[in-house]
Amino acid sequence: MSSGLGGLNKSPNGVVIGLAQLALPDPHTRAELWEQTQKVVAMVGKARRSVAGMDLIVFPEYSLHGLSMDTSDDIMCTLDGPEVAALRQACVDNAIWGCFSIMEANPNGNPYNSGIIVNDQGEIQLYYRKLHPWVPVEPWEPGNLGIPVCDGPKGSKLALIICHDGMFPEMARECAYKGAEIMIRTAGYTAPIRHSWQITNQANSFCNLMQTASVCMCGSDGTFDSMGEAMFVDFDGTPMAVGGGRADEIVSCEMRPDLVREARVHWGVENNIYQFGHRGYTAVKGGAQDAPYSYMHDLVAGKYRLPWEDEVVHTDGTSCGFDTPERTYQPAEEN
């Protein structure tokens, strides 16, 4: 499939997405956080000027806060705070959709690592809290909002997952199961994860007949080096457009959710998102619709346990300098 030369040649059914390989910041004060917010706002304007037909600009995880894992109250964001207001206004001013990352204040525990998708009217269409923080490195509270899907530009269906989420096949499967045609994955990954990033982006697409658009932070903050690696993958697992390590580059591509819909309806062989729930339909009417997977039943029953569970070395964040947590997770707790 063609990317339409990065969206320069837009088809009637195309959705042009830009992935911003934003330079890695390192803010530790409210003023520095606001300065970085203004840089992201300026990049929204750059996206609009660079590709006139762009529908959605996506910023990486940590695009405001950097990789310091600083959980200070002083630099945490809220949905009704000035940083989010500025990002929403940037979408209005530039008549473009935007996907943004914030570290979100949580009065009942550790901050959340959150993402929002904003339409070109400045309205939040999707709000997600990262389900799988990158343990033991990240201190964020486990997300409690599930995996939402929203209507996107040109009638598309969008989902958003964050970084380490994409290493769990169940995350992409849930996005597709809820109707997502394009799954966005934002990240702050560093170079050692490059190969894993590439193969999971491709597998997440192919296994679910879903297009994926994924982007990391880029460059160095003097301590950490993020890899950039913007990556668009078609529903057959084929990379459509791939970025490199140039900070602040916006890599763009035309996605075709209409072709995703067509494949999901008409594919026989390898229509895995359908066949997962209809095992062996050639042999038995409608296929077997049971759940033969032990780990699913055990997880629901609160009994998930690996055969080597007692031998696992890292079971909290102490190896990365965090205190051993004493609170147990309360999934019904929302704030």
What does the pLDDT look like over 187-235, one tens digit per residue? 999 989 999 999 999 999 999 999 999 999 999 999 999 999 999 999 9
> What region does 262 belong to: left with phi over 0, alpha with psi -120 to 50, or beta?
alpha
pLDDT for the residue 3: 72
What does the pLDDT look like over 17-45, one tens digit per residue? 999 999 999 999 999 999 999 999 999 99
Q: What is the CATH number of the domain that holds 195?
A: 3.60.110.10
pLDDT for the residue 103: 98
What does the pLDDT look like over 284-325, one tens digit per residue? 999 999 999 999 999 999 999 999 999 999 999 999 999 999
In a domain, 13, yes or no: yes
In a domain, 289, yes or no: no
Tell me if 254 sits within 8 A of 15, measured CB to CB.
yes
Please identify every residue annotated as catalytic.
61, 130, 163
What does the pLDDT look like over 68-85, one tens digit per residue? 999 999 999 999 999 999
In a domain, 292, yes or no: no
Tell me if 85 sits within 8 A of 288, measured CB to CB.
no
pLDDT bucket at 7, cuts 50 / 70 / 90:
confident
Residue 332 has pLDDT above 80, yes or no: no
What does the pLDDT look like over 263-275, one tens digit per residue? 999 999 999 999 9
In a domain, 173, yes or no: yes
In a domain, 205, yes or no: yes
How many domains, in total, are found in the chain? 1
Q: At what angle do helices 30-50 and 82-93 cross, to 10 degrees?
A: 10
Burial letters for 291-328: b for 16+ Cβ neighbours within 10 Å, e otherwise?
A: eeeeeeeeeeeeeeeeeeeeeeeeeebeeeebeeeeee
The residue with tokens 């890599």 is 251
In a domain, 143, yes or no: yes
pTM: 0.96
Residue 6 has pLDDT above 90, yes or no: no
Residue 221's φ and ψ, nearest 5 degrees, are -105, 10
In a domain, 175, yes or no: yes
Residue 2 has pLDDT above 70, yes or no: no
Show the domain range for 77: 4-275
Average of per-residue pLDDT across 249-255:
97
In a domain, 266, yes or no: yes
Q: Residue 256's CB: how many other CB atoms inside 10 A?
A: 24
